[in-house]
Amino acid sequence: MKKLLPYSLIALSVAFIAPEKGLKDYYKNYFPIGVAVNPRMVQPGPDAELIKAQFNSMTPENAMKMGPIHPEEDRYNWKDADAIAEFAQQNNIKLRGHTLCWHNQTPRWFFTDAEGKTVSRDVLLARLKKHITDVMGHYKGKIYAWDVVNEAVPDTGTSIYRKSKFYEIIGEDYIEKAFQYAHEADPSAQLFYNDYNTENATKREKIYQLLKKLKARGVPVNGVGLQAHWSIYEPTKQELEESINKFASLGLKIQFTEVDVSVYPKEHERRERRDTDKSEFTPEMADKQAAHYKMLFEVFRKHRDKITGVTFWNLTDKYSWLDNFPVPGRKDYPLLFDQNGKPKKAYESVVKF
């Protein structure tokens, strides 16, 4: 007589059947598919399982930014970033570092002395070098690519340089110095300049001029990260292809580093919530989002010879930075997985080709 398994064992065996295919499998002949994560997601649970099933690249969303990882001059907070790096290593997932030099989320001590006065160029350069050297040294061999300088180009005006504290105190060569320090700290790491709004023709041209200048000076910049914080209304196929071709013409690797597709019209400045701002994800929005993702990934696949990675900026619609930007408290639905971690229509449009 055939012996029957207890129901609990049957349930257990079903629970451990791996999904047939993840995003990483559909795109294995194209480029790695990544996801931005926080330390909670890499603890045992549904988020960790979804990451392992779908992705073969990861980026820490906040844990390696200057403020979180280096809150005081003589103190580093390695714990959160270490948890992410360890998870990546254990699961054979590539890891991108984000970000070594950025005007936002920089601790106040970085720019001031003990009396609160602005430091000199030499002091700030020394601090920048030490930060980059220490952080890259800590993760050497675990991180294959770094966003070295983030968002150094302004959206408006004619200057190609954002008037950040780094720019004001050091001058335009802080960008060059950051890349030099990064290359010295880990000569095998791929070094990226990372920015947003790169499909806007005016800003794209400024970023292009900056990178062209860096390349002409022999600065060790290997690639450009196009953040890809888009919406269901933008960019057009033509705008996207223009960006890819323009930056590739400089001999740079291209990665789409922070992909999300908001269901609301794109805004780049924070504002107060209005009565007309509803948190909703209608069937029409779902259809538009799926169609937009379909177009985006068609373009990505077409240019697979130029693109070396595509990373989503968070895992599921459960949490996204867009829930509080540009409108505080307005829920957004920008990713391929819903709030329960289930694939959306947009997921289907990305994997069916």
Active site residue 258: yes
Q: Which of 61, 176, 199, 258 is catalytic?
A: 258
Structure tokens at 306: 């130029």
Q: At what angle do helices 283-302 and 237-248 cross, to 10 degrees?
A: 30
Beta strands per DSSP E along the chain: 33-37, 57-60, 94-102, 145-150, 190-195, 223-226, 229-231, 253-262, 307-312
Residue with tokens 């030490």: 130
What's the per-residue H, E or C state across 90-149?
HCCCEEEEEEEEECCCCCHHHHECCCCCECCHHHHHHHHHHHHHHHHHHCCCCCCEEEEE
Structure tokens at 202: 């005016």
Residue 3 has what DSSP assignment? P
Q: Round to whole Å and give the CA distance between 34 and 208.
A: 25
Residue with tokens 């779908």: 54
Strand partners, 226: 195, 256
Structure tokens at 215: 């390349």
24 three-class SS: helix
Active site residue 151: yes
H or E segment to which residue 166 belongs = helix 165-170
Q: Which of 61, 151, 176, 199 is catalytic?
A: 151
Residue with tokens 């779902």: 286
Residue with tokens 């047939």: 20
Looking at the annotation, which residues are catalytic? 151, 258
